[in-house]
Amino acid sequence: MSADPLVIRRLDYLGPMSSPDGWRPEPRLPEVAFSGRSNVGKSSLINKLVRRKGWARVSNTPGRTREIHFFDVNGQFALVDLPGYGYARISKERKAEWRPLIEGFLRHSPRLQGVVQLLDVRHDPSGDDLQMLDFLSEIEVPTIIVATKVDKMKRAEASARVLATAAALGMEESQIIPFSAVTGEGRDELASAIADLVAQPAWREPEPAPASEDDDAVPTDAPRREDEAP
C-alpha cells in the first residue's frame, strides 16, 4: 500500500470571510482554494480530503456555503472553501455579492498558491464554469481540475465524460482527476497534487503595502525621509 500523500495531523477552522473588504484570517499559510458551482460537491470533497465526516458543511440545499471558509491543515497550508456560484434560485442580489467576493479573494489574496476547480462529471461545463475557468487562466493561477460524483455513473461512462470534458476544455484527459466523495476514488491523487502545489515556491509576489497616512503605523525604527516632519 502506498503512503498517504496528505496525512491530516491537525485541522483548525480559521473563520469566514463574508465580504470583499471584510475580515479574513491572517494569510500566514499558502492557500489552496476550492471552486465550483453550487452543489458540485465542494464541501463533500473537502471532507473526504481531510478524512472528517462533518467538517465542511454538506447540504442538499444548493447555495448553502455563502462565505469563504478557511481551514488550517497541519499548519502546512490553508484550505479555502469558496461559495458555490451559478445556482439559479439564488437572488440576483446575492449573486452580485458573491462574484466580487470570490474574484476579489482570488485576485488579491497575498498567499494564494493554487485553485482546485470542481466540475460535475455528469454535465458539460456551464457558462459559469467557463467564465470561472477563463478568470483562472487570466490570473494564471495554477489550477487542478477535478470531475466530481463519478460514482453516479458506470465507470466506462464516467471515463467517456472525463474525456469529453477534457476535449471541451482543450486539455489532456490526464489533467482531470476523477473523484467520488462516496467511494473515495481520486482522494489520494488529489491529495498528492495539492501537496505538490503547496511545496512549490510561492506563486504570487506579495503586493506592496499601501502607503500609510497614519504615523502610528510606521515602526519606530523605520528610517525617516529627510523631508518628513519629526
Ligand X SMILES: Nc1nc2c(ncn2[C@@H]2O[C@H](COP(=O)(O)OP(=O)(O)OP(=O)(O)O)[C@@H](O)[C@H]2O)c(=O)[nH]1
**CA nearest neighbour of 79 among 31, 27, 112:** 31
Residues of the chain by 3-state class (helix, strand, coil), percent to 5: 35, 20, 50
Burial 2-24 (b: 16+ CB within 10 A, else e): eeeebeeeeeeebebbeebeeeb
Q: Which residues in the 134-163 window bind ligand X by CB under 6 A?
A: 148-149, 151-152
| Part in contact with ligand X (CB under 6 A); list of ranges 5-13, 15-23, 31-39, 219-227 | 31-39
Q: Are 112 and 68 in contact (CB under 8 A)?
A: no
Q: Which is nearer to ligand X, 67 or 204 (CB)?
A: 67
- Please give the residues from 77 up to 96 whose contact with ligand X meets the rule CB under 6 A: 84
Q: Does 35 bind Mg ion (CB under 5 A)?
A: no
How many angstroms separate the CA atoms of 114 and 13, rounded?
19
Cβ 75 to ligand X, closest distance in Å? 25
Asked whether position 35 contacts ligand X by CB under 6 A, the answer is no
Determine which residue in the list 39, 109, 117, 165 makes contact with ligand X, applying CB under 6 A: 39
Query: Of these, 41, 114, 178, 186, which contacts ligand X (CB under 6 A)?
Result: 41
Task: Choose which of 47, 65, 109, 143 interacts with Mg ion (CB under 5 A).
Answer: 65
- Residues 30, 198 contacting (CB under 8 angstroms): yes
Asked if 43 is part of the footprint of Mg ion (rule: CB under 5 A), the reply reads yes
Q: Which residue has the cell 471541451?
A: 168
Among 60, 91, 174, 220, binds ligand X (CB under 6 A): 60
- Looking from the CA of 51 toward its CB, the CA atoms found within 13 Å total 11
Q: Which is nearer to ligand X, 38 or 165 (CB)?
A: 38
43 binds ligand X (CB under 6 A): yes
Give Cα separations from 221 to 13, 190, 209 (angstroms).
35, 46, 17
Count of residues of this chain found to bind Mg ion when the rule CB under 5 A is applied:
3
Rank residues 64 and 95 by Cβ distance to ligand X and give the closer one. Answer: 64
| Alpha-carbon gap, residue 133 to 145, rounded angstroms | 10
Give, as ranges, the residues between 159 and 218 that touch ligand X (CB under 6 A). Answer: 180-182
For ligand X, the binding residues (CB under 6 A) are 36, 38-44, 58-60, 62-65, 84, 148-149, 151-152, 180-182
